[in-house]
Amino acid sequence: MTKGLRSRLAQYGDEEFALFLRRGFLKGAGYTDDALQRPIVGVLSTASDFNPCHATAGRLAESVARGVRMAGALPFVFPTISLHEAFTFPTSMLLRNLMAIDVEEMLRALPLDAVVLIGGCDKTIPAELMGAISANVPAIVLPVGAMLAGRHEGARLGACTDCRRLWAAYRAGTLDGDELNRAHDQLMPTAGTCMVMGTASTMACIAETLGFTLPGAATAPAVSSERTRLAEATGARAAQMASAGGPLPRDILSRAALRNASVILQTTSGSTNALVHLAAIAGRAGIAYDLLEFDRIGRGVPVLVNLKPAGAYFIEDFHAAGGVPAVWRRLRDKLDLSAPTVSGESLGEIMARWPAYTDDEVIRPLDRPIYPAQAIAILTGNLAPNGAAIKLASATEKLTTHEGPALVFDSLEDLAARIDDPSLPVTPEHCLVLRNAGPIGAPGMPEAGALPIPKQLGAKGVTDMVRISDARMSGTAFGTVVLHVSPEAAAGGPLALVRDGDVIRLDARARRLDLIVDDAELQRRRGGWEAPARPARGYAKLYVEHVTQADQGCDFDFLAGVV
Ligand code: FES
């Protein structure tokens, strides 16, 4: 196979001339002939001033490059689209596929023999894995790492579980503006990704369990010297992979690896967003990620990792407690330990050499879980024929079996306009329904599924209600929230047919979500249904015409599978 600068030459109809030009430009940049003989490692940097979670990405890229050089290869740092949750309108999920395309096409276009993918904030690692699996060049992920926990007046604070808690207290009038501002200064006290088990940490732990990082890379804090050393080691390993020509992403991603990831998602009580990302990542390798199998695997997996929002601790504590390999050891009977990793070792080999110390308070033993059952369940029923998700570990137990009248919001705008209206006819028994907030409907399936409790009920002390939508929810959120209803309303799913007052039955134990309206009436309503207007131009038009439903990962239909 052609390697180094000779690979992927620009097509001038004369390959030697193309190489002559390429080498000439690099000589112009100061490279010697010796350097130009080396294998090349691309270092994909997501550094961006618009992505404060990745404020350390530039320095990490330098450390990766040092490791690449120490191992005898030549590093080339290059940029890609960088997505931050709070800086991307209307939602970063709309742009995940664009970033995945950017990653895939640059890996296909550039003369690199291996690549280090520096990512972290929620959509970045999924997009990088999707692109790398499709391009199938040797790839290793380096998460930027999580922030340290904040400290405020005797309490430890975590973004963004405590962002939500403090904001809710401010809204309810139990916290004044001055105190909110003082806490605000400590909510994100360092660079790095959110330090609770939100989507970024979930996807980092999943990347490590799938085998795409060096061990420990999911959890070492962003601002630690250990993270810098991991960057150097990642660069050195990538240089070896460049010389060896592997392992390739599709050697690493297998059905067994995906089952291992499902176990980790459950036992960390990770973000429900990971379900969508795992389906998309698997789809790039031509593997259907089966949500019902995910549910079955979860039935024997309690929540052992005691991190916010389900538990009490933060990522830095998880790392000090033993990190992801210590969790593998706890759940060794549930995992396929023969699964390979980019390090060259199997999961089992890493586990065997990993320090024996485990902090039992942060990574609980099986007989003392923080939640005794699976964290996330998959529901089906006439309201969600292709599935919906509920995070049981964050729900109110008694609401997980509930029958109540629907109160329907037709869109995000309708929700914003009416939810705090004092005359809203709502009771604590209502099921709040939000539709047209799915992949096509919003578009981009924003994290709007944890609908706010109507102010009039919040004032009476109501803290949770059954909420149902075709949207997603932040990994840092909580409540009895049914998400990812598929097919979504804008695609003609049954959610589009619900009317105010219809009875909805949620029975999470039986894994059912049903609309108690007879089929003939639903057929009649379907006859009068009209699809909402769709974007007419640009990327949003491409998106709504090709995005798949939540159960298939919301990837573009023309990008799934292997050619
Ligand atoms: Fe970037 Fe939470 S906003 S990880």
Q: Which residues lie across from 500 on neighbouring strands?
A: none
Q: CA-to-CA distance for 561 and 529, rounded, in angstroms?
A: 33
Percent of the chain with pLDDT over 90: 92
Sequence-ordered alpha helix ranges (H) in 331-410: 347-353
pLDDT tens-place string over residues 144-165: 999 999 999 999 999 888 888 8
Q: How far is CA 12 from the centre of its chain?
A: 41
CA 193 to ligand 1: nearest atom? 4
Q: CA-to-CA distance for 96 and 77, rounded, in angstroms?
A: 21
53 lines ligand 1 (CB under 6 A): yes
pLDDT band at 475 (very low <50, low <70, confident <90, very high): confident
Ligand 1: which of 53, 163, 219 to mutate, most ligand atoms within 8 Å of CB? 53
Query: What pLDDT is recorded for position 227?
Result: 98
Q: Which residues lie across from 305 on neighbouring strands?
A: 363
Map out the domains of the chain as residue ranges.
38-148+190-353, 150-184, 376-532
For atom 2 of ligand 1, the residue with the nearest CA is: 194
194 lines ligand 1 (CB under 6 A): yes
147 lines ligand 1 (CB under 6 A): no
200 lines ligand 1 (CB under 6 A): yes
Q: Specify the amino acid at residue 206.
A: I
146 lines ligand 1 (CB under 6 A): no
210 CA to middle of ligand 1, Å?
21
For atom 3 of ligand 1, the residue with the nearest CA is: 85
Ligand 1: which of 123, 194, 314, 473 to mutate, most ligand atoms within 8 Å of CB? 194
Q: CA-to-CA distance for 439 and 339, rounded, in angstroms?
A: 33
236 lines ligand 1 (CB under 6 A): no
48 CA to middle of ligand 1, Å?
14
For atom 1 of ligand 1, the residue with the nearest CA is: 121
CA 52 to ligand 1: nearest atom? 1
Rounded mean pLDDT, 530-538: 95
Query: What pLDDT is recorded for position 478?
Result: 82
Does 534 have pLDDT greater than 90?
Answer: yes
Q: CA-to-CA distance for 342 and 340, rounded, in angstroms?
A: 7
316 CA to middle of ligand 1, Å?
16
pLDDT tens-place string over residues 174-191: 899 999 999 999 999 999
Does 550 have pLDDT greater than 90?
Answer: yes
Query: What pLDDT is recorded for position 511?
Result: 98
447 lines ligand 1 (CB under 6 A): no
Non-local (6+) Cβ contacts of 545 within 8 A are: 534
CA 200 to ligand 1: nearest atom? 4
Could you give the angle at which helices 199-210 and 124-135 cross, rounded to 10 degrees? 30
122 lines ligand 1 (CB under 6 A): yes
Does 477 have pLDDT greater than 90?
Answer: no
CA 160 to ligand 1: nearest atom? 2
387 lines ligand 1 (CB under 6 A): no
Nearest to 222 by CA among 356, 402, 51: 51
85 lines ligand 1 (CB under 6 A): yes
39 CA to middle of ligand 1, Å?
34
Q: CA-to-CA distance for 210 and 261, rounded, in angstroms?
A: 6
pLDDT band at 1 (very low <50, low <70, confident <90, very high): low
Ligand 1: which of 121, 164, 190 to mutate, most ligand atoms within 8 Å of CB? 121
222 CA to middle of ligand 1, Å?
12
CATH topology of domain 38-148+190-353: Rossmann fold (3.40.50)
454 lines ligand 1 (CB under 6 A): no
Query: What pLDDT is recorded for position 164?
Result: 84
CA 201 to ligand 1: nearest atom? 4
455 CA to middle of ligand 1, Å?
27
Q: Measuring CA to CA, how many Å separate 290 from each of 22, 121, 276, 438?
A: 46, 25, 11, 20
pLDDT band at 168 (very low <50, low <70, confident <90, very high): confident
122 CA to middle of ligand 1, Å?
6
pLDDT band at 395 (very low <50, low <70, confident <90, very high): very high
Residue-averaged pLDDT of the chain: 96
Residue 494 DSSP symbol? G
**Would the CA dihedral through 283, 287, 290, 296 be positive or negative?**
negative
222 lines ligand 1 (CB under 6 A): no
Does 435 have pLDDT greater than 80?
Answer: yes
Q: Measuring CA to CA, how many Å separate 369 from each of 100, 233, 302, 375, 390?
A: 36, 34, 6, 11, 19
85 CA to middle of ligand 1, Å?
6
101 CA to middle of ligand 1, Å?
21
Ligand 1: which of 46, 56, 85 to mutate, most ligand atoms within 8 Å of CB? 85
267 CA to middle of ligand 1, Å?
21
Does 486 have pLDDT greater than 80?
Answer: yes
CA 198 to ligand 1: nearest atom? 2
Cβ-based burial of 154 (10 A; exposed 0-12, middle 13-18, buried ≥19): exposed
pLDDT tens-place string over residues 72-102: 999 999 999 999 999 999 999 999 999 999 9
* CB burial readout 319-351, b (16+ within 10 A) else e: bebbbbbbbbbbbeebbebebbbbbebbbebbb
Q: 376-532 maps to which CATH number?
A: 3.50.30.80
121 lines ligand 1 (CB under 6 A): yes
